[in-house]
Chains A and B, each alone.
Chain A
């Protein structure tokens, strides 16, 4: 009996190490494969100078994107964001800071794409649709005004009252009737889903997920609400084409 217990204790260490190893290896493997596993029909842009896998699947930045700043800027920062994620709220301020330092000189452009995490924030997808309705009714300026205000008023973590969405529309000066019609139509659901699929294809597994794109095509993936110093350093590296 004692020998059996002893044997069990002796085996417990290697078993737990193996379990831990398998978990971590699985995580690393899935991280590398996440793009190919999750996306069947994501856009396949031309291959560019890559430093990591998955980033080549970044959907091309076009005039259909929501771009703040100079559309021809040498550095573009594509952000995949969830309006109910508290870290996206924080990173929104970080990006505003980046725009006030580099955007006014036309050095960077901020490209906003949707990445609502349904498992964590069931309300986020509808809120993303609301920003698209703002874009339809008032163009790029209203899209950004609506998005800024949304991040400003939401308590995050799925706590924004849906009744706030039309109030924000009124606040930024949209036609409330048209806004409500647009929002209830669900016409932008596919657009949001396409963004989500592309975020996953590029390797995003949490929000905010950002990709800094240099003029020479080099891409720098940035996961999470990292401090401004990190963002600034990546912008500088991208501007230098390093």
Chain B
């Protein structure tokens, strides 16, 4: 069951990342009554091909890594919570959420200009910050991968640790 959860989350996150720049388009096409069903099905599938054309090898790599680590993380957290280890420290889980938050900033690259990051920076009037980031926002993707990996490590340690009563 956890394997299925893992795969399902990986697919959802990966699709989310490839569709993110074009949610407006998808919303318009999928919500249009005049568009044939096959076209409604075909457009999202075609846009997934953007992983090869709309990402660099580097950004595609960390996007896939975030999806895989996120899937593992969610599956492990569900396993962890189902075991009801109530007294265990939750550092792993919170690190995972930080990793997800950071990863979201880095993924969904609308080609030049990371989609969410660019929006946030523009929103707060700080788009100039991008010129000071050597990887133009990919830093957040790397941070996300790192935090997710740390989270998996911490969560796995918590799962392995027996529940004990603290003195």
Contact = CB atoms under 8 A, between A and B. Distances in A.
Interface of A: 2, 9-10, 12-13, 16-17, 19-20, 23-24, 26-31, 34, 37-38, 51-52, 82, 85-88, 90-91, 94, 117-122, 203, 205-209, 220-227, 229-230, 233-234, 236-237, 241-242
Contacts of A118: 131
A119 B129 CA distance: 8
Interface string B1-45: 000000000000000000001101101110110111001001100
Given A120-B112, A233-B42, A224 B97 contact: no
Interface of B: 21-22, 24-25, 27-29, 31-32, 34-36, 39, 42-43, 46-47, 49-50, 52-54, 56, 89-91, 93-94, 97-98, 100-101, 104-105, 109-116, 118-120, 122-124, 127-128, 130-131, 136, 166
B94 A224 contact: no
A184 to B, nearest CB: 25
B122 to A, nearest CB: 6
10 contacts: A20-B104, A23-B104, A29-B123, A52-B28, A206-B112, A207-B111, A224-B22, A230-B47, A233-B39, A234-B43
Given A30-B120, A30-B122, A13 B90 contact: yes
A206 B21 contact: yes
Given A20-B104, A26-B120, A224-B109, 18 more contacts: A2-B166, A17-B97, A30-B119, A51-B28, A85-B112, A87-B112, A90-B53, A91-B111, A122-B131, A203-B24, A205-B118, A206-B110, A206-B113, A206-B114, A227-B49, A233-B43, A237-B29, A237-B35
B69 to A, nearest CB: 16
Top 4 A-B residue pairs of the complex, sorted by shortest distance between their CB atoms = A206-B110, A87-B111, A206-B113, A30-B123
A13 B94 contact: yes
B23 to A, nearest CB: 9
Nearest to A2: B166
A119 to B, nearest CB: 4
Query: Counting chain A CB atoms within 10 Å of each CB, which of B27, B43, B166 scores highest?
Result: B43
Given A13-B94, A117-B113, A206-B112, A222 B22 contact: yes
Nearest to B99: A16
Chain B binding surface, main DSSP class: helix
Interface-central residue, B39, B94, B115, by most chain A CB under 10 Å:
B94
Contacts of B119: 26-28, 30-31, 34, 205
Given A9-B94, A237-B35, A230 B130 contact: no
Contacts of B98: 16
A24 B97 CA distance: 13
Nearest to A93: B53
A219 B164 CA distance: 61
A150 to B, nearest CB: 16
Nearest to A54: B24
B112 A82 contact: yes
A46 B120 CA distance: 30
Contacts of B53: 87, 90-91, 94, 224-227
Given A24-B104, A225-B54, A242-B34, A120 B130 contact: yes
Contacts of B42: 233
Nearest to A208: B111
Contacts of A85: 111-112
B22 A16 contact: no
B113 A23 contact: no
Given A27-B123, A38-B122, A205-B110, A220 B105 contact: no
